[in-house]
């Protein structure tokens, strides 16, 4: 079977079953894992699918944001690698803030430094960090968004005002020349306060976030110190990031 035929068959499978794993592709079409991975890479380039950890799903057709737990399942290999790389930037003795983001959660899972203090409004990240003896965790109070699993509200912002940290690890939903944007104002207001409390703002964003404009803008690009992503954005965005003194680090394809 030619690659194009397999790709069409994979799309039909996704329409019926919503997701497909690499192992399923290997078994169904009698191909190697490398061939299955090349098929998915090609399909992603064509915009036919979104790669996930170990497989693929159909791309979203709206700006709707899935619930947090579903996003964890859907997240791509790239986001896992971005998170792991971000964790390598945490130094012994660091004080950091981590926002409620699945990519940031992958960073939390990979923290290996000692004597680290983390402030977060994510109940899932707090849970991950509770299993790390070398990390002290401060969970911000406030009202809980049960779908997206972040704490927000005036009490959350008031508590943040008491802290000053070395680094902020911030997920991104949309990055354009006008700055960072998010779908939920309640969460966005908290993120805006987090930026004020950090010496270095580190944004974790895969390539699909470039050019996306969400409902609530929290800051301009000048608030970002470092951007970690999986692919180089287009030249116009690169020039804009450079104008705002944003350093960009790209997780190499070899690591994926």
d(CA 232, CA 3): 27
Q: What's the distance, CA 223 to chain centroid?
A: 18
Give the per-residue pLDDT at 66: 52
Mean pLDDT (the chain) is 89
pTM above 0.75, yes or no: no
pLDDT tens column, 32-43: 999 999 999 888
pLDDT tens column, 35-67: 999 999 888 877 678 888 788 887 654 455 555
Low-confidence ranges of the chain (pLDDT < 50): 61-62, 253-256
Give the per-residue pLDDT at 70: 56
Give the per-residue pLDDT at 256: 41
Give the per-residue pLDDT at 78: 83
d(CA 161, CA 173): 24
Q: How many CA atoms lie within 13 A of 224 on its CB side?
A: 31
């Amino acid at each position: 079977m030619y690659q194009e035929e397999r790709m069409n068959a994979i799309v039909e499978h996704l329409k019926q079953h919503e997701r497909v794993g690499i192992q399923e592709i290997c078994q169904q079409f009698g191909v190697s894992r490398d061939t299955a991975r090349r098929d998915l890479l090609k399909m992603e380039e064509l915009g036919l699918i979104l790669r996930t950890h170990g497989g693929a799903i159909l791309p979203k057709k709206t700006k709707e944001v899935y619930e947090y737990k579903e996003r964890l399942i859907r997240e791509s290999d790239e986001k896992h690698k971005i998170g792991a790389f971000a964790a390598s930037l945490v130094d012994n003795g660091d004080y950091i803030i981590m926002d409620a983001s699945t990519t940031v959660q992958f960073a939390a899972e990979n923290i290996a430094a000692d004597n680290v203090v983390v402030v977060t409004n994510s109940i899932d990240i707090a849970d991950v960090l509770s299993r790390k003896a070398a990390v002290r965790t401060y969970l911000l109070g406030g009202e809980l968004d049960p779908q997206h699993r972040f704490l927000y509200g005036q009490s959350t912002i008031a508590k943040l005002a008491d802290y000053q940290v070395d680094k902020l690890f911030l997920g991104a939903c949309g990055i354009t020349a006008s700055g960072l944007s998010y779908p939920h104002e309640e969460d966005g207001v908290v993120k805006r306060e987090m930026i004020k409390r950090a010496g270095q703002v580190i944004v974790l964003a895969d390539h699909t976030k470039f050019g996306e404009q969400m409902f609530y803008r929290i800051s301009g690009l000048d608030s970002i110190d470092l951007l970690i992503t999986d692919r180089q954005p287009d030249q116009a965005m690169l020039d804009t990031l450079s104008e705002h003194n944003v350093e960009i680090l790209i997780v190499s394809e070899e690591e994926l």
